[in-house]
Amino acid sequence: MAEMTWELFHQQVEMCGLCPLYQGARHKVPGQGDEHSPLMFIGEGPGQVEDEQGLAFVGPAGQLLTRMLQAISLPRDRVYICNIVKCRPPNNRVPEEAEAHQCMLHLRNQVALVKPKVIVLLGATAAKYTLGPDVRITRDRGRWFERKGVWMMPTFHPSALLRDPAKKKEAWEDMQSLRVKLMELGLYPDLYHQ
Ligand code: URA
């Protein structure tokens, strides 16, 4: 098999027809950011604005994510941001299991290329397909899971925070926990100071 490169990854996503979601997508949304960041964020799937622009987390949820990062002094362009599925599900429905499982091929390639030390899972869909179906976002948010040397933490999806601002307190605690984890791993000053 050919060695995976960013060029090949982007070609494969662009040409992908593994599941039917590509049929309704205006743009594929592979993900973007610092391709060698120690910190990766994984969401669910592109929404309307993301589908229009071909970029992950640029709509209202993305703007909140940017503010959450700013709150712990992380410049957004120093992290890598992507989704479980790379094409917008119709009417922003939750991706079906078959769609998510097919698209995991691309996510696995992406994780192998970025080689993050820490992954933040935004919402139930991201947690389910990375940590497993037994994870419950309300119970397990803010908990750290180590998988193959990578630290992973589920937290609320920013869209959930927009729908229910009462959740913001816990999301804030999770961001503080992320800050502590980055400091423990010696990554925080590096990310902070560029
Ligand atoms: N919601 C997501 O899960 N991902 C995006 O890119 C935008 C909104």
Q: Judge whether 102 and 19 are in contact, CB under 8 Å.
A: yes
Q: Whose CA is nearest to atom 7 of ligand 1?
A: 57
The residue whose CB lies within 8 Å of the most ligand 1 atoms, and thus the one to mutate among 58, 79, 83, is 83
pLDDT digits (tens, 9 = 90+) for 117-136: 999 999 999 999 999 999 99
pLDDT digits (tens, 9 = 90+) for 82-105: 999 999 999 999 999 999 999 999
Strand partners for 146: 151
Task: Quote the pLDDT of residue 192.
Answer: 65
Distance (Å, rounded) from C-alpha 85 to C-alpha 100?
Answer: 6
Q: Judge whether 56 and 82 are in contact, CB under 8 Å.
A: yes
- Tell me which of 97 and 190 has the higher pLDDT: 97
Measuring from each residue's beta carbon to the nearest atom of ligand 1, which residues come in under 6 Å? 43-47, 50, 56-57, 59, 61-62, 83, 159
pLDDT at position 194 over 70: no
Distance (Å, rounded) from C-alpha 139 to C-alpha 85?
Answer: 24
Q: Rounded to the nearest whole angstrom, what is the distance from the C-alpha of residue 58 to the centroid of ligand 1?
A: 8
Residue 186's pLDDT band (boundaries 50, 70, 90)? very high
Q: Judge whether 62 and 89 are in contact, CB under 8 Å.
A: no
Sheet holding 32-33, edge to edge: 32-33, 80-83, 39-43, 118-122, 150-155, 145-147
pLDDT digits (tens, 9 = 90+) for 48-60: 999 999 999 999 9
Mean pLDDT score across all residues of the chain: 96
Q: Rounded to the nearest whole angstrom, what is the distance from the C-alpha of residue 1 to the centroid of ligand 1?
A: 31
Q: How far is CA 47 from the centre of its chain?
A: 13
Q: Rounded to the nearest whole angstrom, what is the distance from the C-alpha of residue 17 to the centroid of ligand 1?
A: 20
* H helices present in 45-187, as ranges: 48-53, 60-71, 97-114, 124-131, 137-140, 158-163, 168-184
pLDDT at position 1 over 90: no
Residue 193's pLDDT band (boundaries 50, 70, 90)? low
